[in-house]
Structure 1
């Protein structure tokens, strides 16, 4: 009797399968996101390790959940001054082994912004955007980042993890777009453009 064909790693691992389903459901905004989505999908489907196991760079490519918090009434976004990155970013963190990326958002929202995560109606508990980005500085590695969107009243966030962040700022989308890209995550402007496009379709 012939042996059964080898089972693909993504079929054995429910976490990997869910990640691939999440990636396949994304609609890329532009050619760059299309390329990043292809890279992320091939990486996730390859059987390569998904999660960071040793700080800061083992394995050299691993999964991150970002979450942009939006006060929808004011159309303002919360950005944090990340100490290690030296940039203004959405909050977020590394996905732990066995953890669903949305559950990372829930956990990190409590840890970093001391608030419960409330998914924006615009995207729900699914990411709006994906990027594949080399980090800067010592221990450089590549973050495969899923960008989620949360809703919150700006007055409800009154504290943050001061070990991680030097400060926080609420900015309108227009203010984010006029910030020099060198001060922000390199994909922040593109995220705003995709967010505006998604909102225009609703």
Structure 2
């Protein structure tokens, strides 16, 4: 890898594209998102840079545990969703999902399930949706184990946050989460599957 990280950056971009192409959709919305993701992603010079294009990749986490799933109310947009956000320079989407979940929930979360030989978790879900400020987010989502502690977000993060059982989460959450929440609900409590 070069000192500026360009080889690693190119490898992360290539890896993410492969993971998205290999992803089996959980519903029609994800099927459409997968297609839209690849079409947009292939046009982007810097897919992780929010300032380089109004279309960019974001990393999110489905934080699950014995109590269900963690949802938070977005401070600006006003709807309930999973923790996640923009990717910092030099960060992978999966690292961004982990960092954002820790920052936004105050929980000691970690990836649920094993990592592959490159230290990458399985891609759980893809959703393409409008973001704030006229942006389009190519959101890639990873499964995190949140244990069963109460969320304790720091000041500056949304304080409207909590555990939801599966049915309550489907009812409360943004529609872009419905398919993956129903999939996880059917899959049961074993996060290793």
Name the TM-score, length of structure 1 as normaliser: 0.77
d(CA) in 2 for partners of 1:30, 1:189: 9
Identify the residue that residue 193 of structure 1 maps to in structure 2.
Answer: 182
In the alignment, is the contact (CA less than 8 A) between 1:122 and 1:199 conserved in 2? Answer: no
Asked if residue 131 in structure 1 is aligned to residue 120 in structure 2, the reply is no
Identify the residue that residue 49 of structure 2 maps to in structure 1.
Answer: 52
Asked if residue 166 in structure 1 is aligned to residue 159 in structure 2, the reply is yes
- Where structure 2 has 5 or more consecutive residues not aligned to the other structure, the ranges are 1-8
Q: 1:122 to 1:77 in 2, by over 3 A?
A: farther
Asked if residue 69 in structure 1 is aligned to residue 63 in structure 2, the reply is yes
Deviations 1:53-103 (Å, cap 9, x if unpaired)? 43xxx52111111111111x33x1111111011011111111123321111
- After TM superposition, give the deviation of residue 192 of structure 1 in Å: 0.9
Number of corresponding residues: 179
Q: 1:159 to 1:27 in 2, by over 3 A?
A: same
For residue 91 of structure 2, the aligned residue among 89, 95, 99 is 99
Identify the residue that residue 3 of structure 2 maps to in structure 1.
Answer: none
Q: 1:100 to 1:33 in 2, by over 3 A?
A: same
- Where structure 1 has 5 or more consecutive residues not aligned to the other structure, the ranges are 1-11
